[in-house]
Amino acid sequence: MMDNEIDRELLEKIADMLGKPVGAFNIRKDSGCDGRQSTEHIEITGKEDKPGIDIRVKDGTVGETCHIPVIITKPGIEEMVYNDFYIGENCDVNIVAGCGIHNCGDQTSRHDGVHTFYVGKNSHVKYTEKHYGEGDGKGGKIMNPQTVVYLEEGASIQMDTTQIRGIDSTKRYTKIVCGKGAEAVITERLLTHGDQIAESDMEIVLDGEDSKGRVISRSVAQDESSQVFYPRMVGNAQCFGHVQCDSIIMGNAKIKSIPAITANCTEAQLVHEAAIGKIAGDQLLKLETLGLTEEEAEDCILKGFLA
């Protein structure tokens, strides 16, 4: 586990791991298990019929964290992995995922991950996922994450996803179904550069009375890269939903943002907004007067925007 400097650097970037994690964890490396540990309240087992794991959290589990990062350090690895989460009732837990690819070869490295959450009554899940790619080879670095969440009555999920940099192509799919009084909050941060391509297809279905949903998407497209966002909020009961997409476009990049709201109930309150623009000149000037170069000022603004 964490055999070399590359492993350690990838795990730190995508999962904030410094040394062996405390609590439950499963580290996947180059299509195999590189380390696994369950706890009294969180059990992790490998699937028998396909690649992936099952994570089962007992009722009443509070204050525990489960790490499930994936790293790929060899060119030519292409995998599809299925992870299922069964969260009991009255829980409050953190799930830290993420995928890092180090590719210095000519073959494509690709990770497709399908995560499905079943969150019990009155439970809260904070789910953090970071994606990162590096390497000086010609091989592509591709990630296609899928996340599907089912929230029972009074349950909630706070989902924070970040694409740091270095991913040549990504197609992201997210769907959350909210029961009575359930709440879903998604914060997505995305950076593309070079000729990278990113697509994000997202849907929150507010099925239950008094359910709530919120999507906050922030992205930066640089150079010749392109991005497409399609966040949707569907209200099927008395509910409240808000979709917000903000993007900074630079160089010759392209961004398409298509937020959509659908109300199938007269008591559904849904709002959406989207904005695409470049960095304001006065912001750059102000930072440059403080001694920063134009490049340093841009970097400072972008870091603050994606924070």
Instruction: Output the CA angle 194-198-199, nearest 5 degrees.
Output: 160
Strand stretches in 73-155, DSSP E: 78-87, 92-96, 99-102, 109-119, 124-134, 141-151
- Residue with the two structure tokens 């180059």: 30
The tokens for 161 are: 């996803």
Q: 183 or 21: which carries more pLDDT confidence?
A: 183
Asked if the structure places residue 291 within a domain, the reply is no
Q: Which two tokens stand for residue 151?
A: 């929230």
Identify the H or E element spanning 27.
strand 24-29
Q: Does the residue 222 lie in any domain?
A: yes
Domain count, the chain: 1
**Neighbour-count burial of 269, counting CB atoms closer than 10 A to its CB (0-12 exposed, 13-18 middle, 19+ buried):** middle
User: pTM score, two decimals?
Assistant: 0.93
Residue 127: what pLDDT?
A: 98
Q: In the prediction, which pLDDT does 17 show?
A: 87
In a domain, 148, yes or no: yes
Is 59 part of a structural domain of the chain? yes
Has residue 290 been placed in a domain? no
* Distances 30 to 22, 74, 116, 123, 163 between C-alpha atoms, Å: 23, 7, 22, 33, 20
Write the pLDDT tens digit of every residue in 192-205: 999 999 999 999 99
In a domain, 159, yes or no: yes
Residue 195, domain extent: 5-280
Residue 43 within any structural domain of the chain? yes
Does residue 168 contact residue 140 with C-beta atoms inside 8 Å?
Answer: yes
- In tens, the pLDDT along 223-254 reads 999 999 999 999 999 999 999 999 999 999 99
306: left (phi over 0), alpha (psi -120 to 50) or beta: alpha
Residue 12, exposed/middle/buried by CB under 10 A (0-12, 13-18, 19+)? middle
Show the tokens assigned to 225: 């890269």
Least confident of 9-23, 40-54, 167-181: 9-23
In a domain, 236, yes or no: yes
Mean residue pLDDT of the chain comes to 93
